[in-house]
């Protein structure tokens, strides 16, 4: 391995009472058990779940849970990541934007105690999810490792989301999920498919019962499942992946054959995309350059 990244996918139910203190205590315990793990990832709305709220109660609870991005919850999470010296994606949270609207927003923190990325869910689960939609895709660099893209639950159903993250240079896509419905079976297939067609690692981290059906998994750039949960029980899935595998699969092809990112190499052409009022251009098709191990370590 030349760029090893150890990660833990925490398949857990919503944190009780939205208690940052309890969350911190649990994470501290996990870091003691998994001492060499660099990155800890939690499910969608892990700290701001709604429990058994009725439709009328849901809106009130979301209003009560929403905070500005730089509010007290953010400061507590940044401090926690810094104290533990770990990369932390604590799931997504309800964010009250400067425009007054509420977003479902994934956040990521560095071992230095800084928020390094925030991503507003571009595809809320309509008509059930009433938050505002985000309008941009987000990647962030893990210093010393590589580039990571953020995705939330239903985003995975839209191939444009994962494609854009891969095009922006993501080598690992974190899809944070809270799915308690029977379509989790399809989501498992979609996670593997997104890994295959974009030649990236994909981690789909679902909530455990009673908030989700579990079945979290990590797929490699050829869609092979490296680690998975086959139940809805609480679990911590750990693995060590080599992000240089992304570049290797793209160079030599999936199964040693297929290289979709090289489709337009040396060819001047374009394809109109009426659905998007846009086009695929050969000059813009290739993803952002993936750093070499030497560059990342610098």
Q: Which of 44, 187, 228, 245 is catalytic?
A: 44
Mean pLDDT of 206-232: 98
Q: Which of 28, 60, 95, 121 is catalytic?
A: 121
Torsion (CA) 97, 100, 104, 108 in degrees, nearest 10: 10
Residue 221's CATH number: 3.60.110.10
**59-81 burial: b if 16+ Cβ within 10 Å, else e:** eebbeebbbebeeebbeebbebb
Q: Judge whether 153 counts as a catalytic residue.
A: yes
**How confident is the model at residue 76, as a pLDDT?**
97
Give 88-113 pLDDT, tens digit per residue: 999 999 999 999 999 999 999 999 99
Q: Judge whether 121 counts as a catalytic residue.
A: yes
Give 143-184 pLDDT, tens digit per residue: 999 999 999 999 999 999 999 999 999 999 999 999 999 999
Instruction: Confirm if 162 and 156 have CB atoms less than 8 A apart.
Output: yes
Tally Cβ neighbours within 10 Å of residue 22: 13
- DSSP 3-state of 263: coil
Q: Which of 153, 192, 228, 245 is catalytic?
A: 153
Kindly give the pairing relationship between strand 201-205 and strand 217-219. Answer: antiparallel
**Domain count of the chain?**
1
pLDDT over threshold 80, residue 84: yes
The pair of structure tokens assigned to 171 is 């080598």
Mean pLDDT of 244-264: 96
Range of the structural domain that residue 184 is part of:
4-297
pLDDT over threshold 60, residue 294: no
pLDDT over threshold 70, residue 295: no
Reported confidence tier of residue 261, pLDDT bands at 50, 70, 90: very high
């Amino acid at each position: 391995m030349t760029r090893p990244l150890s990660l833990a996918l925490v398949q857990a139910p919503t944190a009780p009472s939205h208690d940052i203190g309890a969350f911190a205590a649990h994470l501290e315990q996990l870091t003691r058990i998994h001492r060499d793990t660099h990155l800890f990832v939690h499910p969608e709305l892990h700290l701001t779940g709604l429990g058994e709220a009725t439709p009328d109660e849901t809106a009130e609870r979301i209003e009560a849970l929403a905070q500005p991005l730089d509010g007290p919850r953010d400061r507590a999470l940044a401090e926690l990541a810094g104290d533990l010296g770990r990369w932390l994606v604590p799931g997504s949270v309800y964010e009250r934007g400067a425009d007054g609207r509420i977003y479902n927003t994934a956040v990521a923190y560095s071992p230095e105690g800084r928020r390094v990325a925030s991503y507003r869910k571009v595809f809320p689960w309509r008509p059930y999810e009433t938050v505002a939609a985000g309008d941009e895709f987000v990647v962030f660099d893990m210093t010393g490792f590589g580039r990571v893209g953020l995705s939330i639950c239903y985003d995975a159903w839209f191939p444009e989301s994962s494609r854009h993250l891969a095009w922006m240079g993501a080598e690992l896509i974190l899809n944070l999920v809270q799915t308690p419905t029977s379509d989790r079976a399809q989501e498992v297939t979609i996670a593997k498919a997104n890994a295959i067609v974009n030649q990236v690692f994909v981690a789909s981290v679902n909530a455990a019962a009673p908030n989700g059906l579990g079945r979290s998994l990590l797929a490699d750039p050829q869609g092979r499942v490296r680690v998975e949960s086959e139940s809805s029980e609480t679990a911590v899935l750990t693995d060590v992946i080599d992000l240089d595998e992304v570049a290797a699969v793209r160079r030599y092809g999936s199964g040693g054959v297929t290289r979709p990112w090289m489709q337009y190499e040396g060819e001047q052409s374009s394809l109109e995309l009426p659905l998007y009022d846009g086009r695929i251009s050969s000059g813009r098709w290739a993803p952002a350059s993936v750093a070499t191990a030497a560059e990342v370590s610098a």
